[in-house]
Amino acid sequence: MLARSTPLRRKGNQSTAAERRYLGHVAALGCQLCLFLGYGATPAIVHHQRTGQGWGRASHYRTAGLCPPHHQHSGYGVHDMGRQEFEDMYGISEVALVDATRKALAQYIPEGK
């Protein structure tokens, strides 16, 4: 076997251990939209903010937990609607959900993120 001439590096799209821990906390909070709507905590998956990201994906620290129906493939999830339609239907924006998540998990966000 040949020796590697360059050290292994983290690829640009892979997350760090700190980012993975943060994403675990995001999911553990439950669906932020269900909480906002008064449904209580429901199991969530991580949604990366789309607003203001252009063609790139948001930082792992610009995320919110959303239950599968509020995330996608239900006809009324964040990926199923345009930004304005989502905000009109639920009375809260994607950015506000991310900001609420960041506020709840501020202790886990590194400075400058």
Which has the higher per-residue pLDDT, 29 or 58? Answer: 29
Which has the higher per-residue pLDDT, 20 or 41? Answer: 20
CA Rg value for the chain = 16
pTM (2 d.p.): 0.82
Position 30 pLDDT exceeds 80: yes
Position 10 pLDDT exceeds 80: no
Position 58 pLDDT exceeds 90: no
Domain boundaries, the chain: 17-108
Number of H helices, E strands in the chain: 5, 2
48 SS3 class: strand
Which secondary-structure segment (H or E) carries 63? strand 63-66
Q: How high is the pLDDT of residue 9?
A: 47
* Fold held by 17-108: Herpes Virus-1 (3.30.40)
21 to 13, 24, 25, 27: CA distances (angstroms): 16, 5, 6, 10
Lowest mean pLDDT across 6-20, 25-39, 62-76: 6-20
pLDDT tens digits along 33-43: 999 999 998 99
